[in-house]
A and B are shown apart, each in its own frame.
Chain A
Amino acid sequence: MQLIKDVVNCWGKEFKFYFQSKMIYLILFVYATMSAGFVLYVSDFYENTVANMAQFFIYQPGILATIIPVLTMRLWADEYKYNTLELILTQPISIAAVVLGKFLAAWSVAGIMILSSGGIWGMVAFMVNLDNRWIAINYLITFLMAGSLCALASLIAVFCYNAIAAFLGALALCLLTVMANFSYWIEKIIPDNVILNDLVKSFDFKWQFENMIMGQVGVGGGVYFVLLIVAALWTSLIAVEYKRK
């Protein structure tokens, strides 16, 4: 119970901090503009709209991988800069609560950011019949995927004393995760190996996400993203504890 209270307190503090810094407005604007720009000018959206707005969701991993590092870069760097981490750790609050609170704050902001693209959905739904239930589920999947990117980016932030370094490190890791088309490379190196290809696909970020947004929400995909979050948060926790020692 105490852990949940601590997490909520920590989340509240971090979440408020995003809005105090005014940075959030710029991030929201850049994200909404980027999403709309990719959809309208890259995906041939006017001619190829499909019921699940797939063209919109397909670009989300790339866009989020670029923007989420901006959200997480100051999560730990400011604590190191102002030496507030030592102060926090002397408080009667567990490290797990701090790590979780910070991650949840970043994830919540990412959620608001994803919701901000609802304007495109609304405007398209006004003109053509969309499958709104499917799109709503795709938004949830995108939110889950954003969570895994937030966890990875905050893991990098734990190791970096500088916000810029945290941003660049997280950007590199997120883009690598999103763009690494493992199954493609395995196919190139060891062709026609169906079993190996299927195995590799199970931890292919892009494949899992596309599979889910195309209507195959499976245990495999869900486990993949949840595991990514758990693994990244657990590692963050260990890293912070090491630093404390």
Chain B
Amino acid sequence: MKFGSNKNIRLAFLVAGIFIAAIAFCIIANLCFGSINLDTSDNKRYSLSYETIGFLKANKKNIAIRLYKDKDLGQKSVALERYAGYVRKLLEKYRDNSLGKIDLTIIETIPFTSTQVEAEKSGIKEFELANKEKYVYLGAVFTSEDGKSITIPRLKFERAGQFESDVTQILSVLAADKKPVLGVISSFFRVAEKNNLWEYAANDAFINQLKAREYEVIPLSTGASYIPQNVDAVLVFYPLNLSKITLYALDQYLMRGGRVIVMLDASYDRKFAEDDIYKTYYSGLDKFLQNNGVVYFENTVVGNIKNAFEVLLDGEKIKYAPRMIVDGQSGNEPLINRGLKNLYFSNASYFKYDADNDNINAKVLLETEDGSGEMSADFFANPSYNNFVKMYDTTNKQYPLAILLEGRFKSMFERPLFENTNIGTPPFLSVSVRPGKLLLIGDCDWMNAKLWDNKADEQHGIYDSTYISDNIIFLLRIVDYMTESGYITLASRKNNINISLSEALYHKVVASYQKRKSEIESNLVKIKREKAVLEDKMRRENMPTVKQFKTMEELQRAEIEQIINLQQIDYLIGEKYSNYRSYFNFSVILVVPICLMLIVGIIYAVYEQKTKRKAREYIE
């Protein structure tokens, strides 16, 4: 047989040729256009944010990144292997956008070799996996040209949403030449110092984050007579009992081109000012702000019914407008609020900016959206379902919640507060000699974890704040911007689902029993209280009466009954949860497919009938 004369052989060659050509074309397409990707992921997970790109372009220092990854990661943990792929891709984007300043090396660790030793020496730690796999490493080391080094010992999948934020933060710390200094004036710090709680306070997430980013945080007294020259910005929050001297110091600091961040709850400030007992707590900041064109409406607080939280009030579930979620504005400059989606606000004070000073430029950073309204600040003293409904007045106005003023300010003082300058204060200035910055937030509770994290154990103000919130990101960005430490490097968090399907199902079941459960729990508390009172009474009396014994017996019986009821509900919740899970599985595996078959069948039957009718008509 002559080669090639057989048509089957020719066909085989042709087919092979086509597929080889397709593979070649595929390789060429991947080589040429492989880097062109449309990022379809949630929050553009595979793209660098504006903040990061801005930082990378401005960075002047050489930084080396070493990514340590287990060679057999895919066999040990598929989820980690996928995450490692994501990490690698993002780090490559850092390198590509750094104008040659970032060098990326990927080191594959092999157990019992020099790579493992090197990884461990660099601070990379082994993962403890549920499947008991050993020597699993995935971590990164960042080293700057001046020898500073920061290690992420374990790159955890759970932190995927914050990976970019973490890396940019580390790079910005390595790139910084000097530590920015933030002075903090707060009654909280005064109380903390007085009660020897400074260490406890230092554990706070916000302060911790600042320190991790190489900020120097200096507590300033609420009676401080001047702001030290080395302070880059001053943060004033929970400003109870602010002395006139400190107001003067802040005012003069601003005149010298200082940057002041004020977090003030004006309605509480008014309450303190009017109250005989608490009037010493009054901050007096309203006059300082008024002088700069910011006027507070002390009797009003604002809310947004559309983005309100659901809370239980008088046993009824209502949308509680004073707790709301605000989205950051989308403007380019400044980048403080870009991409922040869930800023949780509580009891925001209403203020407006009305300055006659043309030298000041004002930018609203946050404001309420459609569905906003206002209500009397006194409502918070005793909220109830009825007065909530009556007192909330929807105006649909956009109320500013955070405002940034930049420019040359005028002093609120006409003359120096101190005639005697021996105390070391700088000379008095009636107008700014350098442009200053004043940023105002209409709420003090921003660092309160209870507002965004339902799992926070107790409402301890700023103690238990957590880094998960966009609130903290916003505050850190504010500090970046105000201290001009370099760049706003904090990228917005990229969303992760932080609740599993089983948890969501469980919450659904619990919610259906919530009312009954809370009734029983409150009954139980009542009974326990009555029991405690009676026990106390019986202990004090030498000879308890028979009636008292009987009442005690009845109370004990009632208590047991309530406990049994509670156990019953817990059992029912467990039962219902497992039933829900079975229904879910059953419907997904059987009911949905059967329904689908029926739908397709019905559509086809209708179509067939129609065709038959047409055919019949045609024949007739």
The chain A residues found within 8 Å of chain B, CB to CB, are: 19, 24-25, 28-29, 32-33, 36-37, 39-40, 45-52, 112, 116, 119-120, 123-124, 127-131, 133-134, 137, 184, 198-199, 201-203, 210, 214-220, 223-224, 227-228, 230-231, 234-235, 238-239, 242, 245
Report Cα–Cα, A51/B37, bound state, in Å. Answer: 20
Task: Point out the residues of chain A lying under 8 angstroms from B23, CB to CB.
Answer: 203
Given A25-B601, A28-B597, A130-B497: A228 in contact with B41 (beta carbons within 8 A): no
Chain B nearest Cβ from A14, distance in angstroms: 15
Contact assessment for A131 and B22 in the assembled complex, using a CB-CB cutoff below 8 Å: no
**Cβ contacts A to B, 14 pairs, < 8 Å:** A29-B594, A51-B497, A127-B504, A127-B508, A131-B495, A133-B40, A215-B46, A216-B37, A218-B34, A218-B37, A220-B26, A223-B30, A231-B19, A238-B14
The listed residue (B18, B499, B585) touching A234 by CB distance below 8 A is B18
Q: Which 7 A-B pairs have the closest CB atoms?
A: A215-B41, A119-B592, A202-B30, A32-B593, A219-B33, A218-B37, A231-B22
B504's nearest neighbour on chain A, judged by CB, is: A127
Inter-chain CA distance A202–B584, complex, in Å, is 39
With A128-B497, A216-B89 known to touch, is A239 a contact of B15 (CB < 8 Å)? yes
- Contacting residues of chain B (178-222) with chain A, CB-CB under 8 angstroms: none
Distance in Å: Cβ of A213 to nearest Cβ of chain B:
9
CA distance A234 to B16 in the complex (A): 12
Contacts of A133 in B (CB 8 A): 40
Q: How far is the CB of A33 from chain B (nearest CB, A)?
A: 5
Q: Are A214 and B22 in contact (CB under 8 A)?
A: no
Q: CA separation between A52 and B43, bound complex, in Å?
A: 12
Beyond A36-B592, A214-B82, 6 extra complex contacts between A and B, CB < 8 Å: A33-B589, A134-B42, A219-B37, A220-B26, A220-B30, A238-B18
Question: Does B42 lie within 8 Å of A36, measured CB to CB?
Answer: no
Whether the Cβ atoms of A215 and B40 lie closer than 8 Å is: yes
Could you say which of A39, A112, A120 has the most chain B C-beta atoms within 10 Å of its C-beta?
A120
Which of chain B's residues 67-118 have a Cβ closer than 8 Å to chain A? 74, 79, 82, 85-86, 89
CB atoms of A128 and B499 under 8 A apart: yes
Are A242 and B601 neighbours in the complex by a CB distance under 8 Å? no
Residue B380, interface by CB 8 Å: no
In the complex formed, the residue of B with least CB distance to A22 is: B601
- Which B residues have a C-beta under 8 Å from some C-beta of A? 7, 11, 14-15, 18-19, 21-23, 25-27, 29-31, 33-42, 45-46, 74, 79, 82, 85-86, 89, 495-497, 499-502, 504-505, 508, 581, 584-585, 587-590, 592-597, 600-601, 604
Which of B29, B82, B590, B592 touches A220 (beta carbons < 8 Å)? Answer: B29
Residue pair A224, B26 in contact (C-beta under 8 Å): yes
Q: How far is the CA of A230 from the CA of B587 in the complex (A)?
A: 39
* B7 touches which of A210, A217, A235, A245 (Cβ 8 Å): A245
CB distance from B14 to the nearest CB of A (A): 6
Would you call A134 and B584 a contact (CB within 8 A)?
Answer: no
Report chain A residues within 8 Å CB of B41: 52, 131, 134, 214-216
A235 and B18 contacting across the interface, CB-CB below 8 Å: yes
Would A127 and B46 be within 8 Å (CB), given that A51-B497, A223-B25, A235-B15 are in contact? no
> In the complex the two chains form, what is the Cα distance from A183 to B53 in whole Å?
32
Measured between beta carbons, the chain B residues less than 8 angstroms from A127 are 501, 504-505, 508
Interface centre among A129, A130, A210, A235 (most CB of B within 10 A): A235
How distant is the Cα of A199 from the Cα of B34 in the complex, in angstroms? 11
Whether A223 contacts B588 by the Cβ 8 Å rule is no
- Known A127-B508, A203-B27, A238-B14; judge A217-B36 contact (CB<8 A): no
Which B residues touch A227, using CB under 8 A? 22, 25-26, 29
Chain A residues with CB below 8 A from B14, complex form: 235, 238
B36: chain A residues within 8 A (beta carbon): 218-220
**Please, how many angstroms separate the alpha-carbon atoms of A7 and B496 in the complex?**
45
Shortest distance between the CB of A184 and any CB in chain B (Å) = 8
Provided the pairs A46-B581, A215-B39, A220-B29 are in contact, do residues A28 and B593 lie with their beta carbons within 8 angstroms? Answer: yes
- Complex: A116 Cα to B598 Cα, angstroms: 12
Assess whether A217 is in contact with B40, with CB atoms less than 8 Å apart: yes
Query: Is there contact, CB below 8 Å, between B497 and A223?
Result: no
Closest CB in chain A relative to B43 CB, distance in Å:
8
> How far is B22's CA from A133's CA once the two chains are assembled, in angstroms?
31
Q: Which residues of chain A are near B594, meaning CB under 8 Å?
A: 29
**Which residue from chain A places its CB closest to the CB of B108 in the assembled complex?**
A192
Task: Output the least CB separation between B88 and chain A (Å).
Answer: 11
Tell me the smallest distance from the CB of A163 to a CB of chain B, in Å. Answer: 22
Q: How far is the CA of A108 from the CA of B604 in the complex (A)?
A: 15
Q: Which residue of B lies closest to A30 (CB)?
A: B593
A238 to B21, CA, bound (A): 15
Query: How many angstroms between the C-alpha atoms of A210 and B23 in the bound complex?
Result: 19
Distance, CA A47 to CA B31, complexed state (A) = 38
B536 vs chain A, min Cβ distance (A): 48
CB neighbours (8 Å) of A239 from chain B are 11, 15
B600, A28: Cβ atoms closer than 8 Å: yes
B-side contacts of A123, CB under 8 Å: 584, 587-588, 592
Decide: A48 and B30 in contact? CB cutoff 8 A: no
Residues of A within 8 A of B86 (CB): 214
> In this complex, what residue of B is CB-closest to A201?
B30
With A and B bound together, what is the CA distance between A123 and B592 in angstroms? 10
A120 to B27 CA separation, bound complex (whole angstroms): 36
Q: Which single member of A47, A224, A245 contacts B502 (CB below 8 Å)?
A: A47
Q: CB distance A47 to B592 under 8 Å?
A: no
Known A218-B38, A231-B22; contact A116-B596, beta-carbon cutoff 8 A: yes
Contacts of A50 in B (CB 8 A): 496-497
Residues of B within 8 A of A120 (CB): 588, 592
Closest Cβ–Cβ distance, residue B92 to chain A (whole Å): 12
Beta-carbon nearest neighbor of B8 in chain A: A242
Query: A194's closest neighbor in chain B, by CB?
Result: B106
Identify which of A33, A131, A218, A238 contacts B15 (C-beta below 8 A): A238
> Hey, which chain A residues are within 8 Å of B601, CB to CB?
25
